[in-house]
A = this chain, B = another copy of it.
Amino acid sequence: MGDLAEVRTGSLESIFWANSVAVIGASTTPGKTGYVVLENLIRGGYRGDIYPVNPRAERILGLNAYPSLSAVRRPVDLGIFVVPGELVPDLIDEGRQAGMKGAVVISGGFGEVGAAALEADLVERANRAGIRLIGPNCQGINFTPNRLCATWPLVTERGPIAVISQSGTVGAALSGWAEQEGLGITGFVGLGNKADVSELELVRFFGSDPETKAIAMYLERVKDGARFLDACREVSSSKRIVVLKGGRTPEGRRAAQSHTRSVAGRYEVFSAVCRDLGLIAAKDVESLYDSAKAAALLDQPKGTRIMLITSSGGSGILAADAATDCGLRMASLSDSARGALSSILPSRCVISNPLDLTGDASSERYEQAICALAPFDLADIYVLIFGDPIPGALDAVLKAREKTGKVVAAVYIGGGAIQSEEVASMQRHGIPAYPTPERAVKALSSLLVVQPKECVEA
């Protein structure tokens, strides 16, 4: 079994690192899936060959179109299928002739609508052809190291998070946020019906991808539980895995059963297993993203002591409330640390934790405070809160990371237009930045194996 998994994992390379891609069902109509996918491949800067296949078009989006796969007459590594589902199995046979090694079947109309025989036929033909298959009924894939955006929306920012999702929309949301925020992704895979490739192999694939630092997953059911958990155990020794399970509650479970005909297990069991394996169990989409961001950019804190440095008194208070909720301990300032701060800060600053540098704080004041605190080993986590547009905030957080050698995150809130630039710039430098104090603290606490009062899951 282990060997088979190895062989199969290897073969996913030919999907993500494909040198040529055919879009079977490429459309001339803007907005249609067969148009959007082709457009995103082109706009995403894919450097391999792209072959639009459409029997009723000569050119689409500036590329020569081909009436069929066989008309391409050059090797096609990867096929993206956006034709009606019942046509796909025959086209897989045609793909075999074209040397196809991987297929991403966006088309629906298979197991999810009860057409189990059609899906079985699809898988059988793919197996026979040695073609690995993602989907069917999925939202495509994205792999930024190969500039391969065969999905929507267009996401091109290359970064440390891999997104594996049984819901295309949840995956699109995570990828989209990572794009907007300058965080980026290594890849996104819409699992769809998981007729062939499942989360198991994908965890292994991204687990061995050097650019992936954290894997964010949305799952409704797990296909091959025991082996999946083995894979997670292996991978989680080197990178963090964050999982959101849809169908935690009875009503959610019922909905999941209707969706991809999933049979969901008991959430309590799932959640306990996650904890045992060192996985982070997220409770909603937002905390899946927030935790994955922290996990991708930060090491695990060495302890639970948190130090808050803020220009906004109110935000510091809210962060302290959240830290208490999440089982973190507020770092306490020794007399000598207090003395060091008092000697360099204006008297209106509140020498305490939260350390309130007050509303007129410049990035220099943050840096001074950090340099004064760094010699004292008083905290495992530093959160710098910027409550106004502060030029040079990036320098302050980089200084904090350098001087303290601890886990450092930022909150940027109320900063107006400058905020989104600063956040993107911080994240490109490996510092996670959050829009509220509570989201930062929750995400940081999820990296720890603590028994918090209210944030049992992220």
Chain A residues within 8 Å of B, Cβ to Cβ? 31, 33, 108-109, 112-113, 139, 152-154, 165-173, 176, 218, 220, 244, 246-252, 254-256, 258-260, 284-286, 311-318, 320-325, 330, 347-348, 350, 352-354, 356, 358-360, 387-389, 391, 413-417, 435-439
Contacts and interface: CB of A to CB of B under 8 A. Distances in A.
Contacts of A347: 113
Contact of A260 (B154, B313, B315): B313
Query: Can you list the 9 inter-chain pairs with the closest CB atoms, starting with the nearest?
Result: A167-B314, A153-B416, A172-B414, A169-B387, A252-B321, A169-B312, A249-B324, A259-B313, A284-B438
5 contacts: A108-B358, A153-B414, A168-B314, A170-B315, A172-B414
B173 A220 contact: no
B314 A259 contact: yes
Contacts of A323: 251
A370 to B, nearest CB: 19
A311 B388 CA distance: 38
A216 B321 CA distance: 19
Contacts of A317: 167, 220, 246-247, 252, 255-256, 259
Contacts of A252: 317-318, 320-321, 324
Nearest to A172: B414
Contacts of A168: 312, 314, 359, 387, 414
Contact of A436 (B171, B286, B321, B360): B286
A128 to B, nearest CB: 27
A170 B310 CA distance: 13
A286 B439 CA distance: 9
Contacts of A387: 167-169, 172
A285 B436 contact: yes
Contacts of A248: 321
Nearest to A139: B359
Nearest to A167: B314
Given A168-B387, A416-B154, A246 B348 contact: no
Nearest to A219: B314
B318 A165 contact: no
Residue among A254, A311, A320, A435 facing the most chain B CB atoms (10 A cut-off): A320
Contacts of A360: 33, 108
Contacts of A435: 173, 286
B348 A109 contact: yes
Given A314-B170, A354-B255, A320 B249 contact: yes
A414 B170 contact: yes
Nearest to A306: B251
Residue among A154, A256, A347 facing the most chain B CB atoms (10 A cut-off): A256
Contact of A350 (B169, B251, B259, B439): B259
Contacts of A172: 387-388, 413-416
Nearest to A315: B169
B318 A259 contact: no
A253 to B, nearest CB: 8
Given A169-B312, A314-B166, A320 B437 contact: no
Given A170-B315, A312-B168, A314-B169, A320 B255 contact: yes
Nearest to A261: B350
A361 B258 CA distance: 17
A284 B286 CA distance: 14
A352 B244 CA distance: 23
Given A170-B314, A176-B416, A259-B356, 14 more contacts: A31-B391, A108-B360, A113-B348, A139-B359, A167-B313, A172-B416, A246-B317, A247-B321, A249-B321, A252-B320, A255-B316, A259-B350, A284-B322, A284-B436
Contacts of A437: 285
A263 to B, nearest CB: 13
